[in-house]
A and B are shown apart, each in its own frame.
Chain A
């Protein structure tokens, strides 16, 4: 099983600041099949990126995804009020598909 470790657990930032979220895998993620999801309280997750860096439909370009192998990053260049949420990475190259434990981006 591929274990995904996200850091930090919580990121306290102000609107307009840059957010950098990390997702590290216990082994290489094949084909960079790594996705990022955003989840707001009481809502279902929403796909942000797949294939590490391909933006899903409707995702603003202040969001960017990068990385390969076992080391991946989600960056939000300038936080908007609607970006405060929990972010999960997930690998979909090996079964079982696994998620990271999440990073909460909260308002400072």
Chain B
């Protein structure tokens, strides 16, 4: 069974940093691209970042470019999101989401999410 479990969320002050982790299981992690997608409380979905299976193609939404860094460790079946200079508008549930193939942009499975709250 494909499973992703996010961790690292919490309450931080504006301007601080946080690192999210996503532990994947039930599939060959090194063969799939990965994404972070967020959802502000009561709002819709916003794609945040993408990394391909080997980590040499990375993409960000403009809203986080220069502040967030996505990375992965295929040996540990883990995905990460380093979030710096956090703002109130970054408050959201952050989902780890699997791409449908090595470099594919389609998202086919989602974790349950971790809540990040940024206090101003």
Contact = CB atoms under 8 A, between A and B. Distances in A.
By secondary structure, the A interface counts as loop
A7 to B, nearest CB: 14
A81 to B, nearest CB: 23
Contact of B45 (A47, A56, A99): A99
How many residues of B sit at the interface, in one of the four size bands? 10 to 19
A99 B47 contact: yes
A97 B47 contact: yes
B108 A44 contact: no
Given A47-B108, A50-B100, A96 B61 contact: yes
Given A95-B59, A96-B47, A33 B106 contact: yes
Interface of B: 44-47, 50, 59, 61-62, 95, 100, 105-113
Interface of A: 33, 35, 37, 39, 43-47, 50, 56, 88, 90, 92-93, 95-102
